[in-house]
A and B are shown apart, each in its own frame.
Chain A
């Protein structure tokens, strides 16, 4: 149970995080307050004409902003006019939102012929040039604010209908809607209790982003003389009336134009903020795109450390989540090394930091919000974390390459397999396009893809999951890397496909070992990340078990599986179901793992551990049990000491 904020409070907190939207809110608030108190302000009657004092420029006595062509006080008219424009704009927005959302909701929920019927209607409205529709409506019903409002509302119904329909369709097949239907909910019940509350944010976002637009459109109609009737002022009609004085008394039209501008800007700023908060895609703060490389704090160099002869050496790696000035470590002081030709399994449950570790190795962890707080990653003795970007890019995909979990999202959906393969080949090798094509074909057949020529032209979505992952492997191996980092490469696959991929990886690893013609003692080193102990045992020689951002146990696969030392490893093995095993899994591990970023300073497993003691609240170090065996547990500390 993570937070205990009411949604409303959370909404305001998040909204205020966006500076600009706060500005918008303040500006809008100011305008609102001014409009509310206008009747009590010491202003002249906005409709009182005074022909002798017409077209006074701003800052003349008695008229702060001057007067219009009939000598009416502009400030007073602006304030009263803003009132009118605001009311019309908002009421029109609400009316459009109400009708449009209803259409969208019904259309998206029932689908079928109701949907096609309603949507053709909406298409019809949309295809109608919007301003002409408004003009025609006003022409038909006569000018006047109410009719202008009506016209603007009608014209904007399609936007709401479409947006809400889209949102509804994406929700209708969601399981909670199915659950409600299984719970015997009526159509109305589903629409009202299940769908509407979830679509409300969409509606609010659409309202907030279109309100400004609606005010502009209302002004547009008034500008054409179809809005407020004289002497009532609204911003658009003031602008329209002042237009003919543009060259003689520019302030008469410039001022209402500016007020519209400010009003709509503040509405849009607020709308942006609201959208950022409510749009599920933008959840988790502002939408920040990850930079080309993870931010690395401190130019620390492992000068004191002895340069290792291992292929890849990770020392003291700490990656943290940095948001709103707070740093929460996700990976804590991780140390391990990878020998040439070796396959190391990194095992742990979701949220234990294993993927962040993997991504940090080539500075690929999304930054912001992640950053590497300390540590080094040495490839053949060179700290690649602190290389200049261009040099780092030369290493990525050539010496260190990756395979990720979901092959559908990790491949570029709009490029063919061939394009994506050739890209990576030509990026790192100076090959002609013909040679790189041949090379790509060769790679595809190496990962045992049948009829590679036709697959080269295929797009990712046209391949099955297993095929896609083979393509990813081909891409990863394209430039004969020294280190392959496989981040849950089989998790999204069916078990038979998983088996195929695992054996393929195994074979490839062995062939690359034989491949090494250069004389150097090399071979593909693999870091294999998974949550499945079964998978680890099929492919890895060594295993590191992670929990709460730390490595809690490290050793040869066999010895870890046979005699786990850490209570967590023990419990994990115990609750892993095994096919055909005589024993049944009992109970699992009580409680849940600590959520990422809120790891305790002591042993992360403390709360769930059966043998925990007071000592476990202090930080625990990784103990060397034997040359090839480490564990992080106070019990072992005692045993060893």
Chain B
């Protein structure tokens, strides 16, 4: 009797296995399966902050303007053209006509006004559908006016240079007001935009499916559907890619890059972007108050080795606070601090900081954080070599932010940090100015303060001329490089792997994922 049961069981498991054999993983034709790094939070562009969510949104929505492919420069999107008043305080956009949202409602100036008022006007009837964490991108806008059905105007009190590039950022994507009115807070799960793909289905932790928008104003998309699958575990993403369960994955773990680049069934895509991986140093207290020690840290850390080995060349060595991807604002005269432990030791000695113990906040992961634990550990080892004892405390990302953003004072000497921005203004303005210290609502957690830098940044912000701004930023970079309030470590080269049958795909410097032109054989 027992034996019979066993036989039945064996048979069953065999059947199941052979069943598995027949269902060989293969994604359907004309459908692109993209592995995301996490479950999206929402598909309401005004409420999200993560690159992970932007990757989907960019294909569902359009903004008034967008980045020209391969650059960080803006080009017309839903707005055909725009004019800026001479004082730089009034922007007037004329909109493309005849465009409809996926839900059938028309796109017009009212819709644009609705979008910005929702974020910016406190007593707007749909302000409740927030919060809108990135609304400060547009906080300079004091008023949005509908000039006529296809003309909309923004008015500001002071000139604000980054506005256009902020409008190209996903926070500026235009959502259908009708959808917001209909779904209220739940619009994040029922999105309607104007983009090349329209929303079909979202199953928690399984997939978000987008279908081709048959009447896209900029030409039909190349794929019938796109499936975004959240696969949080990098290893599983790799396994899925290797077993053919997905067509595309982003953020390939550095050590797996070689696996794909050496295999002709896959195509590896790389693109440097406006990203900086750095260490915030605490200038308020402890040995790092001394500029020599800060410079010593910059000398002591073998950035080349980190980038080559830990990150497997998925990043380049950073030279200063501004990533090279902002080519117009980047000061290419600056050289990264060379790896020079001897000099570092000398500087530390000169500052009398030998044998100092430094507390180092390391995160376990987070947006743009590039293997933070191994990086932190390697840095710890480098600093040990010049006689500094580093004590690592690791925190999960949100706790980490909760500890770092209010300032390092009294807690730590250094903290890992990474920023991806869309404008050369953003990072220094939010994290290097004196008036950006945490107690004033900024992100200058290391309390760097240099009046010269403050002055340069203020000027650049109100200037409407890119050339003027470029000069100001270059000067700022020189000063910050020397002051070394941070350790500048790496600029990420974003990567993605696709099956070799995926055509017309390229990564953008904006780190956004555009699938409009992509097709699959």
| Distance between Cα atoms of A230 and B392 in the complex (Å) | 6
Which residues of A sit under 8 angstroms from B9, Cβ to Cβ? Answer: none
A244 at the interface (CB under 8 A from B): yes
In the complex the two chains form, is B364's CB within 8 Å of A244's CB? no
Contacting B at CB under 8 A, from A14-49, are: 47-49
A249 at the interface (CB under 8 A from B): yes
Q: Which of B32-40, B48-56, B145-153, B371-379 contacts A (4 or more CB under 8 A)?
A: B371-379
- Contacts A70-B310, A247-B238; is A55 near B396 (CB within 8 Å)? no
Which residues of A sit under 8 angstroms from B392, Cβ to Cβ? Answer: 229-231
| Distance between Cα atoms of A243 and B393 in the complex (Å) | 21
A69 at the interface (CB under 8 A from B): yes
CB-based nearest A residue for B393: A229
Chain B 243-267 interface 0/1 with A at a Cβ cutoff of 8 Å (1 = within):
0000000000101101100000000
A54 at the interface (CB under 8 A from B): yes
| Distance between Cα atoms of A166 and B174 in the complex (Å) | 65
A225 at the interface (CB under 8 A from B): yes
Chain A 78-109 interface 0/1 with B at a Cβ cutoff of 8 Å (1 = within):
00000000000000000000000000000000
In the complex the two chains form, is B309's CB within 8 Å of A248's CB? no
| Distance between Cα atoms of A246 and B393 in the complex (Å) | 26
Interface size on A, residues (CB 8 A): 26
Which residues of A sit under 8 angstroms from B253, Cβ to Cβ? Answer: 244
Q: Which of A48, A51, A143, A243 has a CB less than 8 Å from the CB of B309? A: A51
Minimal beta-carbon separation of A287 from chain B (angstroms): 21
Contacting B at CB under 8 A, from A230-263, are: 230-231, 241, 243-249
A139 at the interface (CB under 8 A from B): yes
A129 at the interface (CB under 8 A from B): no
Which residues of A sit under 8 angstroms from B364, Cβ to Cβ? Answer: 225
B362 at the interface (CB under 8 A from A): yes
Which residues of A sit under 8 angstroms from B374, Cβ to Cβ? Answer: 69-70, 241
- Contacts A225-B364, A229-B392, A244-B253; is A49 near B258 (CB within 8 Å)? no
In the complex the two chains form, is A244's CB within 8 Å of B255's CB? yes
Q: Which of B234, B259, B394, B395 has a CB less than 8 Å from the CB of A244? A: B234
Which residues of B sit under 8 angstroms from A245, Cβ to Cβ? Answer: 255
Chain B 378-390 interface 0/1 with A at a Cβ cutoff of 8 Å (1 = within):
1011100000000
B120 at the interface (CB under 8 A from A): no
In the complex the two chains form, is B380's CB within 8 Å of A142's CB? no
Minimal beta-carbon separation of B370 from chain A (angstroms): 13
In the complex the two chains form, is A51's CB within 8 Å of B255's CB? no
B462 at the interface (CB under 8 A from A): no
| Distance between Cα atoms of A241 and B372 in the complex (Å) | 11
A52 at the interface (CB under 8 A from B): yes
In the complex the two chains form, is A230's CB within 8 Å of B259's CB? no
Which residues of B sit under 8 angstroms from A225, Cβ to Cβ? Answer: 364, 373, 394, 396
- Contacts A139-B396, A248-B256; is A49 near B378 (CB within 8 Å)? yes
In the complex the two chains form, is B396's CB within 8 Å of A143's CB? yes
In the complex the two chains form, is B306's CB within 8 Å of A230's CB? no
| Distance between Cα atoms of A248 and B258 in the complex (Å) | 9
Which residues of B sit under 8 angstroms from A247, Cβ to Cβ? Answer: 235, 238-239, 242, 256, 259
In the complex the two chains form, is B378's CB within 8 Å of A249's CB? no
CB-based nearest A residue for B403: A142
| Distance between Cα atoms of A143 and B381 in the complex (Å) | 21
Interface residues of B (CB under 8 A from A): 234-235, 238-239, 242, 253, 255-256, 258-259, 302, 305-306, 308-310, 362, 364, 373-374, 376-378, 380-382, 392-396, 399
The 4 lowest CB-CB distance pairs between A and B, nearest first, are: A49-B381, A51-B309, A230-B377, A51-B305
Not counting A229-B394, A230-B380, a sample of 11 additional A-B residue pairs whose C-beta atoms are within 8 angstroms of each other reads: A52-B309, A143-B394, A143-B396, A225-B373, A225-B394, A230-B373, A231-B381, A244-B235, A246-B235, A247-B256, A248-B256
Q: Could you pull out 5 A-B pairs where Cβ atoms are within 8 angstroms?
A: A51-B309, A143-B393, A143-B396, A225-B364, A225-B394
